[in-house]
Amino acid sequence: MDTTLLIGAGALLLALVLGFLAAWLVLRTGQTPMAELAGRLAQMADSQAAQQAQLAERLQAQERGLGRLLEERLHDMGKRLNDGMDLSSQRTGATLAELRERLAVIDSAQANIAQLSERMVSLQDILSNKQARGAFGEIQLNDLISQVLPPQAYEFQASIGDKRRVDCLIKLPKPPGSIAIDAKFPLESFHQMRAAKDDAERIQAARAFSTAVLGHVRDIAEKYIVAGETAESALMFLPSEAVYAELYANFPDVVEKSYRARVWIVSPTTLMATLTTIRAVLKDARMREQADVIQAEVRHLLDDVKRLAERSGKLDIHFAQAGEDLRLLKVSVDKVARRAEQVEAVQLGDGERVADVV
C-alpha cells in the first residue's frame, strides 16, 4: 500500500477521533457553542492537513533519495557483477585453454603408450622365438662392444678352434690372450619360474633354469676356450638384467660352477664395465709396444735441447759483442762531436783548443 494513503487514512482517523472527542466534551459541559466547535475542528483539520502535506513532502523526498540510493547501489552491484562475470569468463577461458593443452599432451602420451604397447608386443613375439631371441642378444652385444672398443680390438662371428664360430672375440695380447664372448638367453625357464603358481612348479622351473644356464656354461667352456689360441676363460652374455639378477640372487651354486668352469656370466651393465677395463688394458699394451719409439723420440728431443742450448749460448756471445761494438761506436761519436765543437771554437776565436779525450 502507498505511504501517502496510509498517512491520509491516519489523519482522517485522527480527525474523527478529535471530532468525537469534541462532541463528547460539548455534550458533557454544554458551554461551547457549535460554531466555536466547528471553528476549532476546522483549525485542527487545517493544521492536520498542513502537517500531512509536510509529512507527505518529507516522505516523497525520502522516497526520491531512497530511490536514487537504490539505483546507485543497483548500478554498482550490476557493475561489480559484470566485472566479476568478465573476470570469471577470462579465468574460465584460460582454464579451458590449459585444459585443452593438457588434453593434447595426454592424447600424445596415449599415442606413445599405444606405440610402445605395439613395440612391446613385437618384442614379446621376438623373444618367444629361440632364433630371434639369439639374434636379439647378438645385436645387443654388437652395440655394446662397438660403443666401447676400437674396431681393431674385436671381431664378430670369429672362427676359433676347429672352425667354430663365436659371437665375438676380443683381441687381447698374451697374457691373457683373446677372450670369447657368447650371448645366451635362457628365457623359457625363467618365465616358467616366474609364472609358477605353487612351490612344486616353482622348484621344477628353478631346476630347469639352473640346468639351462649350466648347459650354456658347459658349451662355452668346451667350444670357446682353446688352449694356445684364446685366454683361459670366456664370457657368457645375458642380454637381460632381470635374468642376471635372478641368477646371482637365488642360484649361487650355478654361479660357483660357472667360476670353476672359467666362464664369467655378465649382463649389459657388467659387460660395459668389463669392456671399459679391457679398453684400458689395450691402451696400456699399445703404450708398451710403443715404448721403444717413445724412448727414441725422447733421446732425439734431448739432442735437440742440447743443440738449442749451444745455439742460444752463441747468440748470447753475439749479443755481448754487439753491445761492445755499440759502446765503442758511442765513444767515437762523442769524439767526433767534441772535435766539431773544437773546430767551431777555433774559427770563432772563443778559447783554447779542447783537449782530446779518448
Q: What is the pLDDT of residues 189-213, one digit of tens each?
A: 777 877 778 888 888 888 888 898 8
Nearest to 174 by CA among 258, 86, 285: 285
Quote the CA–CA distance of 278 and 265 in Å, as a whole number.
Answer: 16
CA 17 to chain centroid, in Å, comes to: 94
Confidence band (pLDDT; 50, 70, 90) for 1?
very low
Quote the CA–CA distance of 166 and 178 in Å, as a whole number.
Answer: 12
Nearest to 21 by CA among 41, 39, 35, 6: 41
Of residues 64 and 114, more confidence is placed in 64
179: left (phi over 0), alpha (psi -120 to 50) or beta: beta
Confidence band (pLDDT; 50, 70, 90) for 17?
low
CA 54 to chain centroid, in Å, comes to: 82
Distances from the Cα of 10 to the Cαs of 21, 22, 60, 354, in angstroms?
16, 18, 17, 149
Helix (H) or strand (E) holding 240: none
Helix (H) or strand (E) holding 164: strand 164-170
Pairing of strands 234-237, 179-183: parallel
Residues forming a β-bridge with 164: 160
Nearest to 205 by CA among 215, 214, 196, 217: 196
Quote the CA–CA distance of 351 and 347 in Å, as a whole number.
Answer: 10
What backbone phi and psi angles, to 5 degrees, belong to 174? -90, 140
Quote the CA–CA distance of 345 and 127 in Å, as a whole number.
Answer: 117
Quote the CA–CA distance of 144 and 181 in Å, as a whole number.
Answer: 12
Give tens-digit pLDDT for 34-92. Answer: 556 566 666 766 776 777 677 777 777 777 777 788 788 888 887 888 888 888 888 88
pLDDT at 123: 44
Domain 130-289 has CATH 3.50.50: no
pLDDT at 29: 56
What backbone phi and psi angles, to 5 degrees, belong to 290? -95, 10
Share of the chain above pLDDT 70, in %: 76
pLDDT at 262: 92
CB 248 within 8 A of CB 213: no
Confidence band (pLDDT; 50, 70, 90) for 136?
low
CB 240 within 8 A of CB 185: yes
Q: 107-111, 214-218, 296-300, 331-335: which has the minimum mean pLDDT?
A: 107-111
Give tens-digit pLDDT for 235-263. Answer: 999 888 888 888 888 899 999 999 999 99
Distances from the Cα of 293 to the Cαs of 173, 184, 281, 298, 354, in angstroms?
19, 43, 19, 9, 73
Domain coordinates in residue numbering, the chain: 1-55, 130-289
pLDDT at 256: 92
Quote the CA–CA distance of 204 and 180 in Å, as a whole number.
Answer: 32
> Global pTM?
0.47
CA 271 to chain centroid, in Å, comes to: 28
Mean pLDDT of the region 287-310: 80
pLDDT at 34: 55
Give tens-digit pLDDT for 171-190. Answer: 888 777 888 998 887 777 77
Query: Which cell numbers hold the place of 120?
Result: 612391446
- SS3 for 178? strand
Residues forming a β-bridge with 166: 158
How wide is the angle at C-alpha 108 spanned by C-alphas 107 and 109, nearest 5°?
Answer: 90
Of residues 40 and 231, more confidence is placed in 231
**Burial of residue 168 (number of CB atoms within 10 Å: 0-12, 13-18, 19+):** buried
CB 172 within 8 A of CB 178: yes
Confidence band (pLDDT; 50, 70, 90) for 358?
very low
Largest distance between two CA atoms of the chain:
173
